[in-house]
Amino acid sequence: MAEGEQIVSETSPGTSPGLPSSPPPSPSFLRPLRTRAFFHVWLAQLISQSGDFIFEVALIWLVLELTGSVVDIAIIVTGTLLPSVLLGPFLGVYVDRWDRRKILVATNVGEGIVVAILAFLVLSGHDSMALLFGIVLLLGTGGRLVMVATEAYVPSLVPVEDLGPTNSLLSLSGSLNQIVGLSLGGVFVALLGVTLPIEYDAITFFVAALLLSLVPSPKAPSTSPRPASAPSLFRELREGLSFLRQNRFLVELIGIGMIVNFFGNGLSALFAPYASYVLHGGPTVYGLLGAFVAAGSIVGAAVIGKMNTRKSAGRYLFAGGIGIGLSILLVGFATSTPVAFALMLSFGITMAVANLPMLTLLQAKVPDRLRGRVMAAFFSLVVATGPAGPLALGWIAERWSISAAFLLAGIAVTSVLAVGALTMKELRTVEY
């Protein structure tokens, strides 16, 4: 068997071995929503994320007010990323062992409790950098577990031909929440302070858990759970890593992802200082920067969701990735708020074009019994360099300028994607 052939050894959902295949139906956003289980997952995410983005504005602005330091913001952003790198592969093992719906319910409840505790501590004046760092570590762990469980769970709810529209639909709703959450979050923080947005986020976690608890858990097609012994844990972890290693296009994608995420995650530490020190705006401008990114993501997801990318996912990755790099590069020159908003819109469009076909490709290629482990290990490797990005770009921003940090990131991302498009044939031509 040639390298990579094992990825199609299992029959895809909705196909019958030995029978002639019929043309796949046209992409549709409505078909997935007619599936009761997926509708509940989508609605739970919609509600939970409505609080997440408001919380994000409140948290970052709280740090900016407490310290006024770009590096301190970078430290908090790094705390949100560390669990993905350190715990992600191990979380994937348990996502494959346990009922994925129950994981989503329990994790949402846990995150709601953590955020409620944070709201109480901020209200009582006991907030500090050490406390905030501990909180974001917990929330980063919960967020990664929810992401891996959702991405592994969704392909069992819809047929493979609907995975593209399904992922676009999840992205669309997330981006819509980002627009509303970041826009209103900036206004709420400016008018009311940070406590009420944090309290609202806690409530949304509990509502999401309730919605997910109403969905009957389908029979898992994977193997039965095994005892949580250390040898079994690491053996299962190696199975996921082995799948990645045996498929060249995934190795190439991880290589690109590690470099792009170093700079991409670094940018998340720059937006609030950029809004304040370069655009001379407040939390409202900071929130609107993210809202325009989300608006672009909606446009990109709407377009990609209606297209058949099964034979062209790699080409979309490279085209979108180069667009991301150019958008970041131009932000380094932008000192006007309208121009910055336009570039954020472009940034969001190109992110959707690059990322959504890749997510669908990964879900379609990985067998269900391995999906949690493979996807967790994949994303952990992709973001392995991410925690260093905010610290590095934050240091560059303080030593030279915020604009210089954007320029460096844009040049790096554009160059890496352009070289990859020319040299990475497996990734450029991969199909599912």
Residue 12, domain member (yes or no) = no
> Which pLDDT score, from 0 to 100, does residue 417 have?
93
> Which pLDDT score, from 0 to 100, does residue 227 have?
46
pTM above 0.85, yes or no: no
> Which pLDDT score, from 0 to 100, does residue 24 have?
59
> Which pLDDT score, from 0 to 100, does residue 324 have?
93
Residue 20, domain member (yes or no) = no
Q: What is the DSSP string of 298-337?
A: HHHHHHHHTS--TTTHHHHHHHHHHHHHHHHHHHTT--SH
The whole domain housing 383 covers: 33-214+230-429
Question: How far apart are alpha carbons 232 and 235 in whole angstroms?
Answer: 5
Question: How far apart are alpha carbons 240 and 94 in whole angstroms?
Answer: 12
Residue 337, domain member (yes or no) = yes
> What's the total number of domains in the chain?
1
Residue 317, domain member (yes or no) = yes
Residue 368, domain member (yes or no) = yes
Q: Decide: residue 369, CB within 10 A, 0-12 exposed, 13-18 middle, 19+ buried.
A: middle
pLDDT of the chain along its 432 residues, tens only?
333 333 322 333 333 344 444 555 666 667 877 878 888 888 888 888 888 878 887 888 788 777 777 778 878 877 877 887 777 777 777 787 888 888 899 999 999 999 888 888 877 666 777 888 888 888 888 888 888 888 888 888 887 777 777 877 787 777 777 777 766 776 777 776 777 778 888 899 999 999 988 886 555 444 444 444 444 777 777 887 888 888 888 899 999 988 888 888 788 778 888 998 899 988 778 878 888 888 898 888 888 877 888 888 889 999 999 999 999 999 999 999 999 999 999 999 998 898 888 888 888 888 878 887 887 788 888 878 877 888 888 889 888 999 999 999 999 999 999 999 999 988 888 887
Query: CA gyration radius for the chain?
Result: 21
> Which pLDDT score, from 0 to 100, does residue 217 have?
59
Both tokens of residue 228? 């949580």
> Which pLDDT score, from 0 to 100, does residue 230 have?
45
In the numeric block, the tokens 């498009």 are attached to: 421
How far apart, in Å, are the Cα atoms of 151 and each of 92, 130, 267? 11, 32, 25
Residue 160, domain member (yes or no) = yes
CATH number of the domain encompassing residue 97? 1.20.1250.20
